[in-house]
Amino acid sequence: MSDAASRLATYEDLLSLPEDVRAEVLGGQIVTAPAPLPKHSKAQRALGSFIGRPFDDDDGHGGPGGWWIFVEVDVALGPHDIVHPDLAGWRRERLANPGEQRPITVTPDWVCEILSPSTAARDKVQKRKLYAEHGVAHYWIVDVDARTIEAFALEGDRWVLADSYDDQATAAIPPFEAVELEVGRLFLPRPGV
């Protein structure tokens, strides 16, 4: 086996890729994914608004505040595990001055992955395990086809399903329970509606 094949990838390897390549490093291996479908993008944008507005944008202006909510930033959980979550959040007291950090080296307090056909298994198995190992306190999995959210809380080193929500639910979902989320608003209208 060549040295290049046995060497574990790092963030520098991601930087050497063309800018339009969506990639992460998981277990020292570079993994890529295509650009998201519109139904994925809709859920990502909606969550960024419905969670980001009161907890990040409105900080000190009527919302609960106290968080940084970012879309698709690079997060280094370790030298050979650099993830690119759909959404990630940090309590502000844990992440000072994030504007120029790339990758962010502080473990998020919350991560949300929106399932796509090409990444669903990775998000539900490999990345869920990785997030637990690094102490992410809350993990949401949004399934745009099933029109659901599964919210997990980390207890010790294991994920516990806090609850599941379908598109009929209006829910206060930890860690953002100060605001109720209308789950159905995350998704494109049902066909024929």
In a domain, 65, yes or no: yes
In a domain, 17, yes or no: no
Identity of the residue numbered 81: D
pLDDT reported for residue 58: 72
pLDDT digits (tens, 9 = 90+) for 2-49: 455 578 999 999 999 998 899 999 999 999 998 889 999 999 999 999
In a domain, 92, yes or no: yes
pTM (global) more than 0.85: yes
Whether the pLDDT of residue 70 is over 60: the answer is yes
In a domain, 14, yes or no: no
Token pair of 12 as six digits: 């520098």
Which of 61, 133, 69 is CA-nearest to residue 95? 69
Identity of the residue numbered 69: I
DSSP 3-state assignment of 75? strand
pLDDT reported for residue 193: 64
In a domain, 175, yes or no: yes
Kindly give, in sequence order, each residue whose CB lies less than 8 Å from that of residue 95, ignoring residues fewer than 6 positions away. Answer: 68, 104, 106
Within 10 angstroms of residue 73's Cβ, the number of other Cβ atoms is 17
Mean pLDDT of the chain: 92
In a domain, 134, yes or no: yes
104: domain CATH number is 3.90.1570.10
Token pair of 113 as six digits: 């992955």
Domain range spanning residue 48? 35-186
pLDDT reported for residue 60: 64
pLDDT reported for residue 2: 47
pLDDT reported for residue 129: 96
pLDDT reported for residue 67: 95
In a domain, 193, yes or no: no
Whether the pLDDT of residue 155 is over 70: the answer is yes
pLDDT reported for residue 1: 44
Average of per-residue pLDDT across 124-153 = 97
Q: How many domains does the chain have?
A: 1
Q: How far is CA 167 from CA 86, 143, 175, 181, in A?
A: 20, 11, 19, 10
Kindly give, in sequence order, each residue whose CB lies less than 8 Å from that of residue 33, ignoring residues fewer than 6 positions away. Answer: 22, 23, 24, 116, 118, 119
Which of 95, 91, 113 is CA-nearest to residue 104? 95
